[in-house]
Amino acid sequence: MNAATVSLPKTHSSLHQLKHPQLIDLLQKAYSAEKAAAYAYQGHAASLRRKAEKIAIKQIEDDEWNHRHEVLQIMNYYGIPVNKRYEKKYAVIGKTISASCFVIGWFMPFFFAGKLESGNVCEYFRMKQYFNSIGIHQWDVILYEMGIKEKEHEIYFLNKIKESRVLPYFEKLFNWGRGKSANNVDLNKKYPVEESDVYCRK
């Protein structure tokens, strides 16, 4: 099931109160960080010459906007406000990264996008785990699908640079690359939603 097909309630009532500070903060942070990622991909796509790469990055940007929309609906359900500080912070980060794509060459935007997506995978599986810890399972499918989509993004970026001669040096410096990831998701051996708690457990 695709996350975009899940119908989410658009309003909240006093019955829907979320008492989990870590989860609330993670939702707020993810909502704003998705905008930063989308902004960054706008610059990334614009800096590229190959049409196929531009199209692929534009699709990833669209995925990030969709994730932002889905996270907001979950927040709205519980009456969680958008964090204005996060919105400003991540907007600046996204615009800065977007502009930098025109001056740092071809490799680094792909590398750092892959590293970013690698970490984003666990945000959504951690949200699912937090919800489950307080007995809430209604968001399991949508959070699982978003986590898997972020993993697909990570693999796309890794495949673009995996043959680069400089990748081993960046992997050693930044702890991400062919042999290192910030998550333990394997798209070739995916666990179903109901068994996905094995992902991103520290």
Model pLDDT for residues 93-131, shown as the tens digit of each residue: 999 999 999 999 999 999 999 999 999 999 999 999 999
Q: Which residues lie closer than 8 Å to 54 by C-beta, 6 or more apart?
A: 45, 46, 48
Average pLDDT over residues 83-101: 97
Q: Is the pLDDT of residue 2 over 90?
A: no
In a domain, 147, yes or no: yes
Number of Cβ within 10 Å of residue 96's Cβ equals 13
How is residue 91 written in tokens? 């907007």
Flag whether 4 is in a domain: no
pTM of this prediction exceeds 0.85: yes
Q: Which CATH number belongs to the domain containing residue 101 in this structure? A: 1.20.1260.10
Q: Report whether 78 contacts 16 (CB < 8 A).
A: yes
pLDDT of residue 65: 98
Say if residue 21 is exposed, middle or buried (CB neighbours under 10 Å; 0-12, 13-18, 19+). Answer: exposed
Q: Is the pLDDT of residue 148 over 50?
A: yes
- Which residues 6+ apart lie within 8 Å of 113 measured at CB? 40, 41, 44, 153, 157
User: What integer pLDDT is reported at residue 17 of this predicted model?
Assistant: 83
Helical axes 140-161 vs 51-77, angle rounded to 10°:
160
Question: Structurally, how many domains does the chain consist of?
Answer: 1
Q: Is the pLDDT score of 143 beyond 50?
A: yes
Containing structural domain, residue 28:
19-198
The answer to whether residue 1 scores a pLDDT higher than 50 is: no
The residue with tokens 């989860």 is: 23
Q: What is the pLDDT of residue 9?
A: 53
Q: What is the pLDDT of residues 162-181, one digit of tens each?
A: 999 999 999 999 999 999 99
Question: CA-CA distance, 75 to 78, in Å (whole number)?
Answer: 5
Residue 25 lies in a domain: yes
Cα(152)–Cα(154) distance, rounded to whole angstroms?
Answer: 5
Within-domain flag for 173: yes
> What tokens were used for 55?
């199209």
The answer to whether residues 12 and 78 touch, using CB atoms and an 8 Å cutoff, is: yes
pLDDT tens, residue by residue, 24-74: 999 999 999 999 999 999 999 999 999 999 999 999 999 999 999 999 999
Is residue 9, in this structure, part of any structural domain at all?
A: no
pLDDT band at 16 (very low <50, low <70, confident <90, very high): confident
Is residue 1 domain-resident? no
pLDDT band at residue 201 under the 50/70/90 scheme: confident
The Cα–Cα gap between 9 and 162 comes to 42
Which pLDDT does position 15 carry in this prediction?
56
DSSP-based three-state secondary structure for 68: helix
In a domain, 6, yes or no: no
